[in-house]
Amino acid sequence: MSSGLDILSGSLRLRNGCGVRSGPYTYCKVSEVKACPSVMSPETKRLLPPNTETVQTKPFPIRGERVNYVNSPHVIAMVGLPARGKTYISKKLSRYLNWIGINTKVFNLGEYRRHATTAYKSHDFFRPDNQQAMALRTQCALEALQDVIGWLESGGEVAVFDATNSTMERRRMIHDYIVSKGYKLFFVESVCDDPQIIEQNIKEVKVSSPDYINMNKDEVLQDFLQRIQHYQEKYQPLDEDKEKDTSFMKIYNTGEKCLVHKHEGHIQARIVYYLMNIHITPRTIYLTRHGESEQNLEGRIGGDSNLSPRGKLYAAALAKYIQEQHIEGLRIWTSWLKRTIQTVAGLNVPQERWKSLNEIDAGVCEEMTYEEINEKYPEEFAARDVNKFAYRYPRGESYEDLVGRLEPVIMELERQGNVLVVSHQAVLRCLLAYFLDKSADELPYLRVPLHTIIKLTPVAYGCRVEHIKLPIEAVDTHRDKPKEPGQIAQVDQQIDCHCKNDGQSNSPNKS
Amino acid sequence: MFNDSKKLTVILVGLPGSGKTCIAKKLSRYLNWKGCFTKIFCPDLYLQKLKVLESKTSCMDGQEEKDWNTLSMAECLKDLICWLKNSLEAKVAILDSENLLRDQRALLKKKLETETGSSILFIESVCNINQILVDGENTFACERRVQQYQLRYESLDELLDPNYSFLKLFDVNKSIVTRNVEGHISALIVYFLINARFHSRTLYFSRHGESEYNLQGILGGDSDLSLRGVEYASKLHEYFTGVKIENLQVWTSPLKRARQTAQLFEEKAKIWKCLEEIKAGICEGMTYQQISELYPEEFRSREKDKYNYRYPRGESYYDVVVRLEPIMLELERANNVLIIGHQAVLRCILAYFLGKSTEELPFMEVPLHSVLKISAMADDYHMQTLARQK
């Protein structure tokens, strides 16, 4: 049975009659041909006979193969009066789409306006009869749309146009511009008539806007309410009859009611589902790894071992901490591996087990130490360092696969209130990357130390992060990106001081 | 996954012929497949039973009809409440009847909430053209009845029904309005209905050709095709080029035996990692004989509950169902697709279309070297075995 490991031994086992020519191999360096397929250049990869290692697909679009799943680029245009949560939705949506692998960017018209003129003194700028300002604003809109097109043409898949777009005329202009270039357009309108929510929005994000640097809170509130007033005079909400050829979605009062009109395509359905599941009720998400396990102590990755004595201490300390917090309606999610289940055995809170929260499957490298992997599969070891996000363990998974299987977890997390997630290093890195908007390059190197609770509180447009290290020592399983791929010794010295105090040498363990 | 969800009663609203039964069946099939036990309750079927009992075949008039309708509705509700309340695993009950009047709905809602403790979700299907779903079995949609109903129809309205949780589907897919939709299952229902399609289409399924491991009776692994398997691959290609299907798509798994079977279709083949065979963990590469000798307890537990049994370090049928979710939603929208997969995976996919229970799923017959064709009419799927070759 031939497997990808044949490539590592330097020879390429070619199957008979599968149509691969040996001629073109002369175009690429032999050393590259010997490298791991996951990180070869596309030209070289195309020449290889396909096998389980070179096939990198996940059901939803992946980087580099998006042409199969995203047939034409999309523009999502927001609609709504100021302080209706448009920017909040734009940023959140963009964060979600980027995380699942769809290249998305937000274009905020307010920023264009601020860039074009520093003339903002008061709400009068937005008066409908202010001709000069109007011309300027229209000019900004055109510039932003040009940038949107530029982004889509250079490989972007979804562009979110974050502006009020509150008149039919403006929307028609956008529609003609975008559709004429062959892209798809989807409007998302946020309608809100609850004055409390509006005031809350203003206080949370507008007060700190660059427009209001020199004003105090109450002045800001008044000025902004006047601003909204100007828009309201000309506001034309999306109309099912008059704009019946456009695809759109209307969200009323943060999800109380939704209307979806003429959606087309998989991405739009996905966006609708996502937007229907998010809420703005305050809550906290706690993330933690299992307590130190026996395999952690030996420096082995993967497996299904029990907690070490220190791990059990952590379980007790965690139970105490959680009880002291008096978290309302807390739910606990664990994986199906023993070490996470044991970590929360002492907590009398409803628990749910998710197979998707299981640690990354290291395939043939399961239960080996780094030294062993380096000895047995040196090229695999080096290849992983070159592109840790896309690298897939032979017969195992990659971080990219993890993101695919964690997507339902994220969707459910969005719907829930207070949750404590007890899982593993690689999985938590993926979850953190979603909440903190980290790129695929940063994701595999995020720090998730043992015996530490990461507390996430959604605030304004992002998340506040707190690390709460419980006073129980543990080994350090983090491995920074080495200067040379394949280097075993941990070069970085700036380890979190609380992890260093355990007196053990910093053996590079699971990463 | 649904253990903590509150029970749900879905009440359909709409004129006869607006597609309610279709929606009910599709929804029930999807939810059951995901592990959320769902059952449809249709008062019209009770009416039919009554009619047969009393030997009445023609449409009835006025009072008599009203009485019989009330009687059959009462019977139906009794069964619904009994099932939802008493059965431990029951999660969603779907009431498939017109429910056109506001008072009617208010009474229903109150009764169901108090007696079953479930939450209520209304799904209204508004169709401008009543002939969209001409259901051959729908003998109750006689002209007269429809016209009468249309006069008294009171659509769901957010102002008049402020605390109701509802979904309105316009022309089935064109527009959807949701209001006060809360809860995991309700959100899932909305997502599914947004993606669901109701037109007729055809899907083809086949296992990979016979592999070397098949010959030796070995589980899992990643072996090549045997000689007979290679022959099957070419016959398969021949068959499909002969039948000349428009825009045929071929989906396959990354494992060698599947890809080699799809090889002749070349560029058309799309590879989905989630179509991989069920992972047998520590039992990969062994025969059933070896497993029963080395791990007799595992072997026995598998026989007891084949659907939920998870191979150590591997997967269960339930896990496969979970990982097939994205492809199922794609299949809902697709037409003329040939899927070249593996036994366990195909069992899961076919169980969805044919509405097989979790007990039947792991024993479904998916023989090597045959092509199964699923034709989807509005609300039902019919399976035919096409080519069959040893």
Segment A88-111, tens digit of pLDDT: 999 999 999 999 888 899 999 988
Question: How far is A461 from B347, CA to CA, in rounded Å?
Answer: 45
Task: Let me know if A124 is a catalytic residue.
Answer: no
Residue-level pLDDT at B335 = 84
Nearest chain A residue to B166, by CA = A257
CA distance A131 to chain B (A): 38
DSSP state of B316: -
φ, ψ for residue A20 (rounded to 5)?
-95, 125
Residue type, B363: F
Residue-level pLDDT at A395 = 72
Question: How far is A508 from A372, CA to CA, in rounded Å?
Answer: 12
For residue B372, what are its two tokens?
């199964």
Residue-level pLDDT at A240 = 83
Count CB-CB contacts under 10 A for residue A92. 20
CA distance B158 to chain A (A): 9
Q: Are B23 and B197 within 8 A, CB to CB? A: no
Contact B181 A276 (CB under 8 A): yes
A338-A342-A344-A347 Cα dihedral, nearest 10 degrees: 140
For residue A451, the number of C-alpha atoms closer than 13 Å in the C-beta half-sphere is 26
Task: Let me know if A123 is a catalytic residue.
Answer: no
Nearest chain A residue to B254, by CA = A52
DSSP H helices, A48-116, are 86-99, 109-116
Nearest chain B residue to A353, by CA = B1
CA distance A74 to chain B (A): 18
Interface test with chain A among B124, B156, B167, B175, by most A beta carbons within 10 Å: B175
* Helix, strand or coil, per DSSP, at residue B353: helix
String of DSSP letters for A194-263: -HHHHHHHIIIIITTSGGGTTS-HHHHHHHHHHHHHHHHHH-----TTTTTTSEEEEEEGGGTEEEEES-
Long-range contacts: A224-228, Cβ < 8 Å, 24+? Answer: A224/A82, A224/A83, A224/A123, A226/A123, A227/A82, A227/A123, A227/A126, A228/A81, A228/A82, A228/A83, A228/A198
Q: Are B259 and B209 within 8 A, CB to CB? A: no
Residue-level pLDDT at B4 = 62
With beta carbons under 8 A apart, name residues in chain A contacting B254: 52, 55, 57
- Rounded to 5 degrees, what angle do the CA atoms A151, A156, A157 make? 130
CA distance A70 to chain B (A): 13
Task: Let me know if B208 is a catalytic residue.
Answer: yes
Residue-level pLDDT at B300 = 87
* CA nearest to B356, candidates B321, B319, B309, B310: B321
Contact A273 B187 (CB under 8 A): yes
Q: Going edge to edge, which strands form the sheet with A452-459? A: A351-353, A331-334, A419-423, A285-289, A452-459, A462-469
Question: How far is A475 from A506, CA to CA, in rounded Å?
Answer: 8
> Which residues does B contribute to its contact with A (CB < 8 Å)?
1, 3-4, 158, 174-181, 184, 187, 190-191, 194-195, 221-224, 254-256, 259, 263, 270-274, 313, 319, 322-323, 325-327, 329-330, 333
* Helix, strand or coil, per DSSP, at residue B8: strand
Residue-level pLDDT at A96 = 93
> What is chain B's Cα-based Rg?
24
Q: Is A414 left (phi over 0), alpha (psi -120 to 50) or beta?
A: alpha
Q: Which residues pair with B384 in a beta bridge?
A: B373
Q: Which of B181, B256, B273 faces A58 most closely, judged by CB atoms? A: B273
Contact B222 A52 (CB under 8 A): yes
Could you give the maximum distance between any two Cα atoms of chain B, in Å?
A: 72
Judged on CB neighbours under 10 Å (0-12, 13-18, 19+), A129 is: exposed
Q: Which of B191, B259, B270 faces A68 most closely, judged by CB atoms? A: B270
Q: Going edge to edge, which strands form the sheet with B370-376? A: B269-271, B249-252, B337-341, B201-207, B370-376, B381-388
Residue-level pLDDT at B214 = 87
Residue B63's Cα: distance from chain center in Å? 38
Catalytic residue selected from B44, B76, B161, B208:
B208
What are the percentages of helix, strand and coil residues in chain A, rounded to 5? Answer: 45, 15, 40
Residue-level pLDDT at A295 = 92
As separate numbers, helices (DSSP H) first and strands (DSSP E) second, chain A gives 18, 12
When pLDDT is averaged across residues B154-181 and rounded to a whole number, the result is 83
Q: Which of A55, A59, A272 faces B254 most closely, judged by CB atoms? A: A55
pLDDT cut 90: percent of chain B above it: 13
Q: Which of B174, B194, B256 faces A269 most closely, judged by CB atoms? A: B194
Q: Are A20 and A14 within 8 A, CB to CB? A: yes
* CA nearest to B352, candidates B319, B368, B374: B374
Nearest chain A residue to B181, by CA = A256
CA distance A132 to chain B (A): 40
| pLDDT band, residue B264 (cuts 50/70/90) | confident
Residue-level pLDDT at A190 = 93
Nearest chain B residue to A333, by CA = B1
Question: How far is A468 from A288, CA to CA, in rounded Å?
Answer: 10
Q: Which of B187, B322, B325 faces A277 most closely, judged by CB atoms? A: B187
Mean predicted lDDT score pLDDT of chain B: 83
Q: Which of A1, A50, A51 faces B221 most closely, judged by CB atoms? A: A1
Contact B194 A272 (CB under 8 A): yes
The pairing of beta strand A285-289 with beta strand A452-459: antiparallel
Of the two residues A3 and B350, the one the predictor is more confident about is B350
Task: Let me know if B222 is a catalytic residue.
Answer: no
When pLDDT is averaged across residues B162-185 and rounded to a whole number, the result is 83
**Residues with Cβ within 8 Å of residue A150, at least 6 apart in sequence:** none
Q: Are B351 and B263 within 8 A, CB to CB? A: no
Q: Which of A57, A269, A276 faces B271 most closely, judged by CB atoms? A: A57
As separate numbers, helices (DSSP H) first and strands (DSSP E) second, chain B gives 14, 12
The pairing of beta strand B166-170 with beta strand B175-179: antiparallel
**Predicted complex ipTM exceeds 0.85:** no
How many residues make up chain B in this entry?
Answer: 390
CA distance B108 to chain A (A): 23
* Burial profile A202-231: b = 16 or more Cβ within 10 angstroms, e = fewer: beebbbeeebbeeeeeeebbebbbebbebb
Residue-level pLDDT at B61 = 63
Segments in chain A below pLDDT 50: 1-35, 37, 45, 48-70, 491-511
With beta carbons under 8 A apart, name residues in chain B contacting A405: 323
pLDDT in tens, B297-334: 888 888 888 998 888 777 889 888 888 887 888 888 78
Count of CB contacts below 8 A, A vs B?
A: 95
Interface test with chain B among A45, A54, A239, A258, by most B beta carbons within 10 Å: A258
Q: Which residue has the tokens 């092509």?
A: B371
A135-144, A437-446, B62-71, B197-206: which has the minimum mean pLDDT?
Answer: B62-71
Catalytic residue selected from B22, B36, B44, B96:
B96
Q: Are B211 and B226 within 8 A, CB to CB? A: yes
Contact A272 B4 (CB under 8 A): no
Catalytic residue selected from A36, A192, A430, A499:
A192
Q: Are B167 and B336 within 8 A, CB to CB? A: no
